[in-house]
Structure 1
């Protein structure tokens, strides 16, 4: 049997969509790596034991030094039945309009912290979040990557 009409162009179209999707994933991964590198630098300089707000300020400084675009304390709208209700949610950092960064300075990351990031991802319609706990001896033990399939 021989294929008729449009088989080749459909394959090219699918391939183009896949490559476009990969580029976006690659950008999120690239940003994630940059954020983690910046967080490790902050932790290396300060160590554990400070307040979350101090780490946020220093991480924002470090991201700025690396020319990585971000927004601090970005307000997050909750839409209920088509109406924006003011719930007061704020993202610690939104990096490159793609990656949500939630900072903690706690003894241990609990499931509720992970659920918090998942909720933020859903509300912001983002795919990738980083939960960073600075109250650890080695920063690599305080990094939790959370992905959401939209």
Structure 2
């Protein structure tokens, strides 16, 4: 009888681990934004964004880094603000924008492998590319590897 209970418990543990494996596998693959096109291609030409009419620092040049998972269907999941410079009320606008992204798999991603990545959104950024890059630099996130 004891053997049956242990076997049953082992089977239960194995089933629980198997159920968690897709989520664990999804979390493990982190891709830098510049490497993302090797796996997923952004399909949107424009997105709708909910921008507040008033709030803290909403008219100052700023950036917001948003982390998210691209699911096997190409839709962003678990969209969260990871960094905002300077602090402002634009986090919800950034989450709104990224939540509306839609991706298609690249030719090298025929399995539609989900990946974690991030996107830096500039607000009130200057037109000059050098100044724009300087504005966005503080919002870059470490820990996202190569495709």
TM-score band, normalised by shorter chain: 0.3 to 0.5
Relative contact order higher in (CA < 8 Å, ≥ 6 apart)? 2
The TM-score, its normalising length taken from structure 1, stands at 0.35
Please identify which structure carries the higher strand content.
Answer: 1
Please identify which structure carries the higher helix content.
Answer: 1
